[in-house]
Copies of this chain bind each other. A is one copy, B any other.
Amino acid sequence: MNVIVDLCVVPMGVGVSVSPQVAACQRVIEASGLSHRMHAYGTNLEGPWDEVMAVVKRCHEVVHEMGAPRITSTLKLGTRVDRDQSMDDKVASVERLLDPGREPEV
């Protein structure tokens, strides 16, 4: 079972700036080899369920190891069994409706 997730890790008790912890999570995600894309309020990530969830767990472990006493994360989890669908497919299917004349990218 593949899953597309959107992960947002929020360390608590470390002050107002959390970019060092978010960057550490990005390194965990990059090291996983899974397809991913960061945005301004989280990171999209896709792959086999267990691999993706191991990344989420590792992010919590790494942020605690950096000294954060407490973490609250939000995770959206999308699975489907009717057909394969990647993160790029999801965006492309909306963009086709917004701009029907657009040439498909190859």
A residues with a Cβ closer than 8 A to B are 1, 3-6, 8, 10, 12-13, 15-20, 22-23, 26-27, 37-42, 44, 46, 49, 53, 56-57, 60-61, 64, 69-82, 87-88, 90-91, 93-94, 97-98
Can you name 22 A-B pairs with beta carbons within 8 Å? Answer: A3-B60, A5-B41, A10-B10, A10-B12, A12-B12, A12-B18, A13-B15, A16-B82, A17-B93, A19-B93, A19-B94, A39-B39, A41-B44, A53-B53, A56-B77, A64-B79, A70-B79, A70-B80, A70-B82, A71-B77, A72-B77, A75-B75
Once bound together, how far apart are the Cα atoms of A44 and B37, in whole Å? Answer: 13
CB distance from A43 to the nearest CB of B (A): 9
